[in-house]
Amino acid sequence: MSDEFGEAALKNILVFYEGKRSELIPILQEAQGIHGWLPGKTMQLIADFLHINEGEVHSVASFYNQFRLMPLGRKMVTVCRGTACHIRGAPQILEDIGQSLRLKEGETSPDLEYTLESVACIGCCALAPVVKVNHKIHGEMTRERAVTLFPKLSE
Ligand code: FES
């Protein structure tokens, strides 16, 4: 039988918990490690385990931005919005990339190719403004160069 949503992996996580409502956030954190996001079926099983409403699990998961309710794209596009990057044009770069990818911040493309996000600091401020695609850092970014990172979409 198929276990595409990771029920067996989730059960392996839940054996370490007592089923108390206060365990919801740590369980969500661990459960997210199964797929990198939280499918609805996973949240339903967590709700059953904790004897709480599934809507409560969903609202906690959607309140905290550490939790992802959608799968990630194969290419994670991260635009730094830290101070050094901000003053060197990061907001415009984020907007331009969003237009190229047809995504808003936090969204994943329907083909699961791209996820666009921003972070407070990537950690290489001397290269500001910085864009990261998966693990590759693109420093001293310009609006012109930013859209060329995604050639298929900038045509
Ligand atoms: S502020 Fe952008 S890398 Fe630090």
The tally of CA atoms less than 13 A away on the side-chain side of residue 74 is 4
What gap in Å lies between CA 52 and CA 56, rounded to an integer?
A: 7
Q: What pLDDT score does 154 carry? A: 44
Whether residue 136 sits in one domain with residue 85: yes
What gap in Å lies between CA 9 and CA 99, rounded to an integer?
A: 38
Q: What pLDDT score does 120 carry? A: 94
Length of the chain as a residue count: 155
Whether residue 88 sits in one domain with residue 59: no
Residue 25 is part of a domain; what is its CATH number? 1.10.10.1590
Whether residue 100 sits in one domain with residue 53: no
Would you say the CB of residue 140 lies under 6 angstroms from ligand 1?
Answer: no
Residue 91 three-state SS: helix
Q: What pLDDT score does 152 carry? A: 55
Whether residue 100 sits in one domain with residue 56: no
- Torsion from C-alpha of 23, 61, 55, 9, nearest 10 degrees: -60
Ligand 1, atom 3: nearest CA belongs to which residue? 125
Whether residue 84 sits in one domain with residue 40: no
Residue 137 is part of a domain; what is its CATH number? 3.40.30.10
Please say which residue of 39, 63, 87 terminates a domain.
63
Q: How far is the CA of 107 from the centre of ligand 1 (A)?
A: 22
pLDDT in tens, the chain (155 residues): 456 667 899 999 999 999 999 999 999 999 999 988 999 999 999 999 999 999 999 999 999 988 989 888 999 999 999 999 999 999 999 999 999 999 999 889 999 999 999 999 999 999 999 999 999 999 999 999 998 888 655 44
Residue-range definition of the domain harbouring residue 26: 3-63
Q: How far is the CA of 91 from the centre of ligand 1 (A)?
A: 13
What pairs with residue 109 in β-bridges? none
Q: How far is the CA of 142 from the centre of ligand 1 (A)?
A: 15
pTM of the model: 0.72
Would you say the CB of residue 128 lies under 6 angstroms from ligand 1?
Answer: yes
Q: How many domains are contained in the chain?
A: 2
